[in-house]
Amino acid sequence: MASVANAARPDRQRAELAALSAPAVLFTLAMIAFPVVYTVWLGFHAFSSTERQSFVGLGNYSKLVADGEFWHGLWVTLALYALSLVLQLVLGIWLALLLFHAKRVPGFVRSLFISPFMMPPVVAGLMWLVILDPSIGAANYLLQAVGLPPSEWLASPIWVIPTVALIDTWQWAPYVALIVLGGLQSLPPSVYEAAQIDGASAYTTFRRITLPLLLPTIVTATILRSVDLLRFFDIIYITTQGGPGNASNTLNIYGFRVGFEFFNIGYASALMLTLTAVVFGAVLAFNRLRGAVAW
Amino acid sequence: MSKTSYATRAAITFVALGAVTTATHAADFDWKKFQGKTVTFLANNNPVSQALLTYKGDFEKLTGITLKVDGYQEQQMRQRLVTVMNARSDEVDVFMSLPSREGEQFAAAGWYADLSAFSKNEASKDYDLAGLSQALLKAATFGSKLTSMPMNIEGPILYYRTDIFKKCGVEQPATIKDVEAAAQKIKACDSTITPFVSRGLKPAVAYTFSNMLHNIGGSYMANGKSNLCSAKGKEALDTYSRLLRDYGPPGVVNYSFQQISALYRTGRAAMSFESSNELRTVMEGGERLKDTALVPFPAGDAGQVPTAIGWGMAVSAYSKQPDAAWYFVQWATSPEIQKRMAVQGIAPPRPAVANDPEYRKWIDEEPVRKQWQAALDVLATKGSSEVGYPIVANPESRDFIGQAVQDLILKQKTIDQACADADKGLDALIAQK
Amino acid sequence: MNNTPLSESWINRLNFVQLVLAGILVMSPTAWMVLSSFKPSFEVTAYPPTLFFSPTLENYSQLIRTTPFFSYTINSLIVTLGSAGLGLLFGIPAAFAVSWTRISWPAVLTLAARMAPGTLFLLPWYMMFRQVGMIGSYTALILSHAVITLPIVIWVLLPSFDNVPRSIFEAAQVDGCSITRILWRIALPLVGSGIAVAAILSFVFSWNYFLFALVLSNGDSKTLIAAAFNFVGEGSTQWGALMAAATLIALPPLILASIVQRWLVSGLTLGAVKG
């Protein structure tokens, strides 16, 4: 092992590594610095169509804490998030395993399996709006054809959240599957060979070997889905606009309407920043988990 | 020289002089004044602007102005507009606006250029400012500012199936009570058909609900406070929600124009209370062409006070060339252009155009068009532009109205509870002055 | 010698059945969309839903005739390829560095842009780009979309890089390779599947993102997805045209995915590395 040559390495190494991540870091900072600062500044001001712009310190935030709509929105966001995440992880992993073992399926058919998330959200929303229409939609048509009672789907205050979770899962479980598939590809085959030699069953192989090795990938998928699910917007915007009543009013929808329809930009900024903090908290938590399982 | 020839010569000179003067006055209006300039138009991509823009080339030829058009669906357009205006950018010169919804809001924010001087002093002789619907002009005036020029007139009307009515022995409803009676009869007579459908989606309810409220004689505000808990207010809330709850389709709380038109067009609804703009969509495929009749929403205790609104063309207060922008606005809302748009199915905000022979010919082609125009005539004469609360926070007020109606449809609150909760929130909104 | 042929074939059969079931669930709504694009507008919402109908190309021809579909597509391609490319260019080295040093704040930072609601950026970015006169330029759109693709690239590649045994890197270092060289010559070929996934996802996310295009583009640079909204509106909901547009919009990502599949499946990953 070289010794003299290695002595000078650490500093040069550090510089190299910094240079490798510098473009990404600098680019991100350049793009988001002003928006974040500006939004924080706005959040400290009253700024709406009925109020003159004025500094109110934490006024918007105390309003937020007292706002029932905010807490309800938080509940809706978290409920939808938990339900969707679990469904998408479970079904996504299942789909990935299926595709991984189906080696003889042609590439184009595989890409069809992961195609739902390639559909633009506005199209997916409208499509499901029609399919799930209680009167003229195919979903109730099929339900009734097999003798089941029709459902109100998106129009039911109770079932709207599960229905939205279902739509989102249809669209994004394949996305999770794609990520997990990539992870499965990179698993060392040597481990499997050893397991086969030991006579392990498929199930045991999966539980004891595959799953633990896949955890880092699964956590990545969780993080990536979490940032999107906590900011749930598109499908709800197209289909129910937060309704019926407030049943599907996520924080993002609420903040959007406060800002762009009710013109209360100051309060909307406070709402958006609070939502960002929630997402940030989730990412930090999962990142710690990633550290635990990866290293 | 004989007296007559003197007189004749004088007359001829006089007439000649007159002709020359008029010609000079007509030539006074220089359409090419802003030749070479570019005007940017942010359009809501609906049939109104689509019809208008088919003549875009004519405008550019007439004035030498280059027209840059940016078209988006309504909500997207509003998002873009709000962003551009909040940034006080001069990017947009002309935009489409809905005074009944955002007029007061945008006016308070100072986003509109005042068109009163332009429309009086800088319009061509043919413009006929007085020929525009006075009601719509008034609805577009905030303070003393005329904020936009009306492009069309529209409002919710009642579409109904003449064949189903005949089958179930129902007459054309003349009052709101008749509507409910008809719905009841139809429900008993044919269980596969939805007797009545209208808007239940929270932000969309106010559009149709306002019509019923006004017909019943209620008002949104009284003495500066929210008035939904008045006797008339409660009656309107009760009737509207009852019609949807008992006689409407399942899932009506998510319904807006898309689902309503689809339901009616596929023949699954007997009565549809929806915008006059949806005529084209409803007639697609031709199935409903012969079995549909149209009337303004039947009268209540206060008679018929239909909701009549219209899109308007506005000039941005931040535009660097408002006068060139005005040229586009006046061309687009002139009698000639609105007549051409009318034949494409855009109801004109000019009573005179509605009587134009070419337009009448188009109308007479189909009986359903005749009824459509007749309904719109009523809207033009008796209409009110009040959709939601006449305050700056109009869009937010619509949410409270929608919430109250949904609470009743879903049986989550009693009428007293629903109207009280709505009033409480609305009073707070009104107080934000 | 280990799994009896019987249980092996049973597993295969079970897999096949599950695959078919999953296929039906996953693809039938998409199939509905594609079928609907060949129906006349009013038949899309007909009831009962029609499976057999006389197909028409009217929606597609109307689409191509009445909208500048081709130029929208070009705009979308430029913006998407640009932002995906930028994301890969900046993201691959960053992911490698984070994986090597186990210091994750750069990765979390790039994700910060995804933590805030997209609408938070609308007004400030409009103001920023307006100042420098870049509204309507491809650059503005590429930069804003790159903010979306960058974290995806980094976070998808992190576990891939983590999975490469350190021994390989250490061996290369002993041989005197610089870290950068290790990245491009040694590590990169080993994470082929990760790059494939990152590429697909970047492309799709950028392709389908309409919020920034709404505000940062104008008529000349409008992207396909921003235009797709135009088919829905009061008095003008054209289901047929919308479905046709949706089908066409979904094609490029799908084609890309089928092409990139090869790297996903080939697993030219760790076969060459033993022990």
Looking at the domain assignment, is residue B2 inside a domain? Answer: no
Count CA atoms within 13 Å of residue C225 on its CB side. Answer: 26
Looking at the domain assignment, is residue B31 inside a domain? Answer: no
Contact B251 A50 (CB under 8 A): no
* Candidate from B47, B74, B83 with C-beta closest to C215: B83
**Mean per-residue pLDDT for B77-93?**
92
Judged by a CB distance cut-off of 8 A, whether residue C66 touches chain A is no
CA distance C196 to chain A (A): 8
Q: What is the pLDDT of residue B258?
A: 85
**β-strand B145-146 against B141-142: which pairing, if any?**
antiparallel
**HEC-encoded secondary structure of chain B:** CCHHHHHHHHHHHHHHHHHHHHHHHHHHCCHHHHCCCEEEEEEECCHHHHHHHCCHHHHHHHHCCEEEEEEECHHHHHHHHHHHHHCCCCCCCEEEECHHHHHHHHHHHCCECCCHHHHHHCCCHHHCHHHCCHHHHHHCEECCEECCEECCCECEEEEEEHHHHHHCCCCCCCEHHHHHHHHHHHHHHCCCCEEEECCCCHHHHHHHHHHHHHHHCCCCEECCEECCCCHHHHHHHHHHHHHHHHHCCCCHHHCCHHHHHHHHHCCCEEEEEEEHHHHHHHHHHHCCCCCEEEECCCEECCECCCECECCEEEEECCCCCHHHHHHHHHHHCCHHHHHHHHCCCCCCCCHHHHCCHHHHHHHHCCHHHHHHHHHHHHHHHHCECCCCCCCCCHHHHHHHHHHHHHHHHCCCCCHHHHHHHHHHHHHHHHHCC
Q: What is the pLDDT of residue C44?
A: 79
Q: Give the residue with greater pLDDT, B301 vs C238.
A: B301
Contact A50 B393 (CB under 8 A): yes
List CB contacts (< 8 A) between A127 and chain C.
29, 32-33, 246
Interface contacts (B, C; CB < 8 Å): 85
CA–CA gap between residue B16 and residue B20 (Å, rounded)? 6
Which residue in C222, C236, C238 has the most chain B C-beta atoms within 10 A of its own C-beta, making it the best mutation to test that interface? C236
Contact A101 C16 (CB under 8 A): no
**Mean per-residue pLDDT for C105-131?**
92
Statement: residue C272 has pLDDT above 80: no
B321/B180 same-domain check: no
Contact A136 B250 (CB under 8 A): no
List CB contacts (< 8 A) between C115 and chain A.
227, 231, 276, 279-280, 283
Judged by a CB distance cut-off of 8 A, whether residue A121 touches chain B is no
**Mean per-residue pLDDT for B271-278?**
92
Q: What is the pLDDT of residue B21?
A: 47
B207/B260 same-domain check: yes
Instruction: Name chain B's partners: 3 or more CB pairs within 8 A.
Output: A, C
Contact C230 B70 (CB under 8 A): no
List of residues 6+ apart from B27 with CB closer than 8 A? none
Whether the CB-CB separation of C206 and C79 falls below 8 Å is answered with yes
Band (pLDDT 50/70/90 cuts) for residue C234 is low
Structural domain boundaries in chain A:
77-293
Least confident range from A70-84, A179-193, B35-49: namely A179-193
B409/B266 same-domain check: yes
DSSP string, A100-154: HH-TTS-HHHHHHHTGGGGS-HHHHHHHHHHHT-TTT-HHHHHHHHTTPPP--GG
B145/B162 same-domain check: no
Q: What is the CATH number of the domain that holds B216?
A: 3.40.190.10
List CB contacts (< 8 A) between C96 and chain A.
20
Looking at the domain assignment, is residue B302 inside a domain? Answer: yes
List CB contacts (< 8 A) between C236 and chain B.
45-47, 50, 280-281
Judged by a CB distance cut-off of 8 A, whether residue C30 touches chain A is yes
CA distance A21 to chain C (A): 4
Which residue in C39, C41, C42 has the most chain B C-beta atoms within 10 A of its own C-beta, making it the best mutation to test that interface? C42
Contact B86 A265 (CB under 8 A): yes
The mean of the pLDDT values for chain B is 89
Percent of chain C's residues with pLDDT above 90: 31
B336/B203 same-domain check: no
Statement: residue C74 has pLDDT above 70: yes
List CB contacts (< 8 A) between A20 and chain C.
93-94, 96-97, 179-180, 183
B44/B139 same-domain check: yes
- Position B395, amino acid: P
Q: What is the pLDDT of residue B6?
A: 59
Q: What is the pLDDT of residue B22?
A: 46
Statement: residue B218 has pLDDT above 90: yes
Band (pLDDT 50/70/90 cuts) for residue A199 is low
**Mean per-residue pLDDT for C194-206?**
90
CA–CA gap between residue B203 and residue B196 (Å, rounded)? 20
Of B346, B370, B394, the residue that ends a domain is B370
Q: Which of C168, C92, C156 is nearest to A185 (CA)?
A: C156
CA distance B275 to chain A (A): 20
Band (pLDDT 50/70/90 cuts) for residue B3 is low
Statement: residue B349 has pLDDT above 60: yes
* Candidate from B82, B251, B412 with C-beta closest to A155: B251
User: What are the φ/ψ torsions at residue B16 (nearest 5 degrees)?
Assistant: -60, -45
B283/B218 same-domain check: yes
Q: What is the pLDDT of residue A200?
A: 67
Q: Which of A21, A46, A237 is nearest to A124 (CA)?
A: A237
Query: Domain range for residue B419?
Result: 156-308+384-432
Band (pLDDT 50/70/90 cuts) for residue C271 is very low
* Candidate from B46, B80, B287 with C-beta closest to C235: B46
Q: Which homologous superfamily is A77-293 in?
A: MetI-like (1.10.3720.10)
Q: Give the residue with greater pLDDT, A269 vs B46.
A: A269
**Mean per-residue pLDDT for B64-78?**
90
What are the tens digits of pLDDT across the range A108-154?
788 888 889 888 888 888 889 888 988 888 889 889 889 888 888 98
Contact B266 C226 (CB under 8 A): no
Q: What is the pLDDT of residue B433?
A: 63
**β-strand B94-97 against B38-44: which pairing, if any?**
parallel
Whether the CB-CB separation of B374 and B172 falls below 8 Å is answered with no
**Mean per-residue pLDDT for C215-230?**
84
Statement: residue B286 has pLDDT above 80: yes
Band (pLDDT 50/70/90 cuts) for residue A47 is confident
B280/B313 same-domain check: no
Give the count of domains, chain B: 2
Looking at the domain assignment, is residue B321 inside a domain? Answer: yes
B71/B187 same-domain check: no
For residue C230, CA distances in Å to B229, C63, C67, C123 come to 40, 11, 10, 22
Q: What is the pLDDT of residue B274?
A: 94
B295/B320 same-domain check: no
List CB contacts (< 8 A) between C47 and chain B.
266, 268
CA–CA gap between residue C52 and residue A135 (Å, rounded)? 20
CA distance A110 to chain B (A): 35
Statement: residue B7 has pLDDT above 80: no
Q: What is the pLDDT of residue B421?
A: 94
Contact C2 A197 (CB under 8 A): yes
For residue B223, CA distances in Å to B209, B429, C257 come to 21, 15, 64
Looking at the domain assignment, is residue B133 inside a domain? Answer: yes
B144/B56 same-domain check: yes
Backbone CA torsion sign across B9, B10, B13, B14: negative
Statement: residue C58 has pLDDT above 90: no
**Mean per-residue pLDDT for C128-152?**
93
Statement: residue B233 has pLDDT above 50: yes
Q: What is the pLDDT of residue A125?
A: 87
Q: What is the pLDDT of residue C189?
A: 85
Looking at the domain assignment, is residue B23 inside a domain? Answer: no
What are the tens digits of pLDDT across the range B392-432?
889 999 999 999 999 999 999 999 999 999 999 999 989 88
Q: What is the pLDDT of residue B1?
A: 47
Percent of chain B's residues with pLDDT above 90: 67
Statement: residue B247 has pLDDT above 50: yes
Band (pLDDT 50/70/90 cuts) for residue C81 is very high
Contact C193 A187 (CB under 8 A): no
B68/B201 same-domain check: no
Band (pLDDT 50/70/90 cuts) for residue A1 is very low
Whether the CB-CB separation of C172 and C186 falls below 8 Å is answered with yes
Judged by a CB distance cut-off of 8 A, whether residue A150 touches chain B is yes
Statement: residue B163 has pLDDT above 90: yes
CA distance B397 to chain C (A): 21
Statement: residue B12 has pLDDT above 60: no
Band (pLDDT 50/70/90 cuts) for residue A72 is very high
Looking at the domain assignment, is residue B28 inside a domain? Answer: no
Q: Report helix, strand or coil for A159.
A: coil
**β-strand B194-197 against B269-275: which pairing, if any?**
parallel
Least confident range from A177-191, C92-106, C165-179: namely A177-191
CA distance C119 to chain A (A): 7
Whether the CB-CB separation of C114 and A283 falls below 8 Å is answered with no
* Candidate from A28, A113, A276 with C-beta closest to C147: A28
Q: What is the pLDDT of residue C109?
A: 93
pTM of the predicted protein model: 0.87
**Mean per-residue pLDDT for B232-237?**
95
Q: How many CB atoms lie within 10 A of CB B2?
A: 7
Contact B249 A135 (CB under 8 A): yes
Band (pLDDT 50/70/90 cuts) for residue C274 is very low
Q: What is the pLDDT of residue B24?
A: 45
Interface contacts (A, B; CB < 8 Å): 84
Looking at the domain assignment, is residue B123 inside a domain? Answer: yes
Which residue in A53, A126, A241 has the most chain B C-beta atoms within 10 A of its own C-beta, making it the best mutation to test that interface? A241
Q: Which residues pair with B158 in a beta bridge?
A: B273, B295
List CB contacts (< 8 A) between B78 and chain A.
260-261
**HEC-encoded secondary structure of C52-82:** CCCCCCHHHHHHHHHCCHHHHHHHHHHHHHH
